[in-house]
Amino acid sequence: MVRKSVLTAIVLFGLYIVGMYVYIFHGAQSTIPEALKGTVADPAVFLSEREWVLSEEYSKIRNFLFFAAAPFDWLFYFLILTFGISRGFEKWSLSQTKWKIAQNAIYLFWLSLLSYVVVFPLNYYRYTLSKSYGISTQSFSSWMKDGVIEFWVDFGTMILIVSVLYWLMKKSAKKWWLYAWFLTIPFSLFIMFVQPVVIDPLYNDFYPLKNKELETKILDMANNANIPSEHVYEVNMAEKTNALNAYVTGIGSNSRIVLWDTTLSRLNDQEILFIMAHEMGHYVEKHIYIGIAGYLGLTLVGLWLTAKLMNYFVRRYGKVLNISEVCSIRSLPLFLLITSVLLFASSPLSNYVSRYQESRADRYAIEMTQDKDAAISSFQELTRAGLSQVNPPLLVKWFRYTHPSMLERISTLDQYDTSNQNE
């Protein structure tokens, strides 16, 4: 039974990989519509032929890796259950100490370490791929340092989450998912509050914007939009990437406007002001709070479904998965497998909402700045710097894109400004 299940899982994974490879590299269409050829949204207008070719190549590889990575994780979780590895980790942790939280820490350490080692080749390939296409500028030692920091941050967070989660499972087999969701609310808000001042600085250095003239312009815009902000922060990303970015992060007194130094070096002031107006649009339209509400709603449904599915799989396939009861920590890979599948399945919906919010922020920014040239040129430069695929295939857009494609964003801005001028 176990051998048959493992063989079936591997064959299905192989067929999926072949299918996605054919779709991404041979079946998916990313051509430019005839109506937009020759316009400012056409990559042939603002990219060199080599840049366009590289963006298509790079994007196809990254898209394929994205679609391969999630099922690979699912296969990994399934195999460590069926081969009894998770059960072995649990037995080892129980034999080392009587303290429950210490047992959880030992189990999680070995599970996290095994996961890190198994996924490392894929992550390393992504890193070298980014360097070969001129996106990443990060040294191997710096990349490894970030990976080690992420490992320990995730490990520490998981000890807390898993310890509470499995304690709830033991206390209430039927309603643990509901109690876990209630605790998710303050925990998520706390993480969002400390992220800019505790977690983010572990990876990069943040400091007040050096260009005080530009900072004054940005703060004036924020003041006109009734956005409370005293400083704009700059982060040193040039030593890691050539890509561009800017964002608003945090909540409450820890909210920040952040600009990558690569953005500051490659965009002019007007382009930066448009990007900042876009970020302010998210604040004005309360997208962060809508996002929190949506996240909590999906989490509630996800935890409920996870509880139902875990009970079903343990009851029907417990012997194959080496799980005797849901509340045993050896069932954690099953929990992670189910939640990962649900998250992947729900991504088209969450991405659709995100793309709508991004389009709203674009509209807010162009209304605020009234600068068509800066709006279009900023997105053109973002495309060039990150070798972004201008018009991704439909399946890629559904599952990967939290922002509208550059083709949509640029053409919409161009049409919107033209219509305003004609009124």
d(CA 275, CA 377): 11
Answer yes or no: is pLDDT of 146 > 50.
yes
3-state secondary structure of 15: helix
Reported as a single tens digit per residue, the pLDDT across 173-190 is 999 999 999 999 999 889
Read off the amino acid at residue 387. Answer: L
Confirm whether residue 287 is marked as ligand binding.
no
Strand order, beta sheet including 246-249: 206-208, 232-235, 256-260, 246-249
Catalytic residue among 42, 90, 261, 362: 362
Residue 252: name the closest of 326, 191, 184 by CA. Answer: 191
What is the location of CATH 3.30.2010.10 in the chain?
206-284
Reported as a single tens digit per residue, the pLDDT across 334-387 is 999 999 999 999 999 999 999 999 999 999 999 999 899 999 999 999 999 999
Residue 52: name the closest of 39, 42, 43 by CA. Answer: 43
Confidence at residue 221, expressed as pLDDT on a 0 to 100 scale: 87
Confidence at residue 377, expressed as pLDDT on a 0 to 100 scale: 95
d(CA 366, CA 412): 11
The pLDDT > 90 percentage for the chain reads 77
**Long-range contacts made by residues 42-47, C-beta under 8 angstroms, separation at least 24?**
43/383, 43/390, 46/380, 46/383, 46/384, 47/383, 47/384
| Range 152-180 average pLDDT | 95
CA-derived radius of gyration, the chain: 24
Reported as a single tens digit per residue, the pLDDT across 63-85 is 999 999 999 999 999 999 999 99
Confidence at residue 423, expressed as pLDDT on a 0 to 100 scale: 43
Reported as a single tens digit per residue, the pLDDT across 14-55 is 999 999 999 999 988 788 899 999 999 999 999 999 999 999
Task: Find where tokens 């600068």 sit.
Answer: 371
DSSP letter at 232 equals: E
Residue 283: name the closest of 261, 262, 252 by CA. Answer: 252
Answer yes or no: is pLDDT of 421 > 60.
no
Answer yes or no: is pLDDT of 57 > 70.
yes
Catalytic residue among 279, 371, 408, 417: 279
CATH homologous superfamily for the domain 206-284: Metalloproteases ("zincins"), catalytic domain (3.30.2010.10)
Confidence at residue 162, expressed as pLDDT on a 0 to 100 scale: 95
DSSP string, 275-320: HHHHHHHHHHTTHHHHHHHHHHHHHHHHHHHHHHHHHHHHHHHHHH
- Residue 325 a catalytic site member: no
Answer yes or no: is pLDDT of 283 > 90.
no
Q: How does 39-67 read in b/e, with b if 16+ C-beta sit within 10 Å?
A: bbbbbeebbeeeebebbbebbbbbbbbeb
| Range 195-205 average pLDDT | 90
pTM of the model: 0.91
Confirm whether residue 381 is marked as ligand binding.
no
**Long-range contacts made by residues 222-226, C-beta under 8 angstroms, separation at least 24?**
222/257, 222/276, 222/280, 225/280, 225/283, 225/284, 225/368, 226/284
Answer yes or no: is pLDDT of 418 > 50.
no
Could you tell me the two tokens for 323? 């799980």
Rounded-to-10 torsion of CA 323, 326, 332, 335: 110
DSSP string, 126-175: HHHHHHHTT-B---HHHHHHHHHHHHHHHHHHHHHHHHHHHHHHHH-TTT
Confidence at residue 417, expressed as pLDDT on a 0 to 100 scale: 57
CB contact at 8 A, 111 and 333: yes
- Please, where are the H alpha helices in 195-248? 212-224
Confidence at residue 422, expressed as pLDDT on a 0 to 100 scale: 44
In this prediction, residue 192 has a pLDDT band, given cuts at 50, 70 and 90, of confident
- Residue 423 a catalytic site member: no
Confidence at residue 123, expressed as pLDDT on a 0 to 100 scale: 96
Confidence at residue 171, expressed as pLDDT on a 0 to 100 scale: 93
Answer yes or no: is pLDDT of 251 > 80.
no
Q: How does 78-116 read in b/e, with b if 16+ C-beta sit within 10 Å?
A: bbbbbeebbbebbeebeeeeeeeeebbbbbbebbbeebb
Confidence at residue 163, expressed as pLDDT on a 0 to 100 scale: 95
- Sorted by sequence, the CB contacts under 8 Å of residue 344 that are 6+ apart come out as 70, 399
| Range 388-394 average pLDDT | 92
d(CA 126, CA 357): 29
d(CA 413, CA 373): 10
Confidence at residue 28, expressed as pLDDT on a 0 to 100 scale: 80
Confidence at residue 419, expressed as pLDDT on a 0 to 100 scale: 52
| Range 123-128 average pLDDT | 96
